[in-house]
Amino acid sequence: MKNEKRAGGRRGADPSSGSSRLTGRGRMRRNVPVALAERSYEVEIGQDWLETIGRRIVDRVGSDRFALVTVPPVARRHAPILTRGLKARGAHVRRIVVPDGDATKNLTELGKLYDRFLDAGMDRQSAVISLGGGVVGDLGGFAAATFLRGISFVQVPTTVLAMVDASIGGKTGVNLPRGKNLVGAFHQPRGVYLDVATLRSLPPRQRSAGMAELIKAAAIWDAGFFDWLEPRIEAFLRLDPKVVIPALERGCGIKAEIVARDEREGGLRRLLNFGHTLAHAIEAHANFRGILHGEAVAIGMVFAAERSEALGFAPAGTRSRLESVLERAGLPTRPPSRPRRAYLSAIAVDKKKEGSRIHFVVSRGIGRAQTALLAPREILPPGWKA
């Protein structure tokens, strides 16, 4: 068992004390920089400003032709407002609606997307806007990364999970039948724009699933943020803006800090995969249907914390505290009942493999994490049962 560099364990400032500035009609907007030299951009967080986002995208990207990639419910509720802002700046917009759900992230749908780009007359000066959750962010972003060897794209996430995780950092990709995100590219967006008002249309289950990634960020990086978030879980799920906006700002800030220090997942960025080893196995066994990514991650985090305690990385009580918070968020915490060999088979194609071992993210206690290079049998020891 080989241990690697650990990080985290810091006590962050109260998220509600972050800097902000007024936008139209007196609403607050907060900006989180993602510092990547010439690829730098900002995550801009506001409320009820989707039409303004459209105008800002045109000004930021400098293109007059956009492919707006989205899914049916988002296309109905939010795409017309965003499109109105884009057209107000003289842009031509082709709306492309793809099926909802993680099963859409496949090579067949990717090929269809390229055809739609060609039908729309897209060229190297055109840009892609991903409007929706992590699925359209990953699929639309990967299409942008590879179409004509790469064109600009922008993220406008409308789910909690996409806002705090999938939209930031430039990871794009699709699934293969044998595993999740096995084909992809790093392609940084030109900007990320969050309108927290879009979260009102999310069903409760989607809100809870998104909280998994927010809790994960606190659990691996910022014990102070975890302390702040712990008593506010229910308020976040009610979308209380006094909680949602500062929580999203800090969650995005954690992701931005990590990405700025390790853009291409050479070491530190692997910490963001806390809970994802088992989660991806669960999703693969379900054929990417029936379980949301955040739900699988919640199960994977409790499992990872349990193994962290058993292997001597985390102090006793880490798993129970994390499990309690996730359950209050309405998330599952126990893996589906499948044979150990089935989980071992799925883990064997984990994209974090190095030879015959896997970079498994372990907890060092709330707010601290590290990676450990483990054999699959160390992750899932003999006698382990789901």
Q: Which residues are catalytic?
A: 149, 171, 213, 255, 265, 269, 273, 276, 280, 293
Cβ 114 vs Cβ 98: under 8 Å: no
Pairing of strands 127-132, 65-70: parallel
Strands 65-70 and 92-97: parallel
Contacts of 182 (CB under 8 A, 6+ apart): 173, 175, 176, 349, 351
Q: Where are the alpha helices (DSSP H) in the chain?
A: 50-61, 72-77, 79-88, 107-119, 134-146, 160-161, 204-221, 223-229, 233-237, 241-261, 276-285, 293-310, 318-328, 340-347, 376-379
The token pair at 210 is 């998104």
**In degrees to the nearest 10, what's the CA dihedral of 182, 386, 101, 266?**
-30
Q: What is the DSSP string of 129-175?
A: EEEESHHHHHHHHHHHHHGGG--EEEEEE-SHHIIIIITSS-EEEEE
Sheet with 127-132: strands ordered across: 21-22, 28-34, 41-46, 192-195, 152-157, 127-132, 65-70, 92-97
Q: What is the DSSP letter of 290?
A: S
User: CB count, 10 Å around CB of 384?
Assistant: 16
- Residues 386 and 99: their CA atoms lie apart, in Å, by 31
In angstroms, rounded to a whole number, what is the distance separating the alpha carbons of residues 138 and 166?
7
Find out whether 329 and 337 touch, Cβ atoms under 8 Å: no
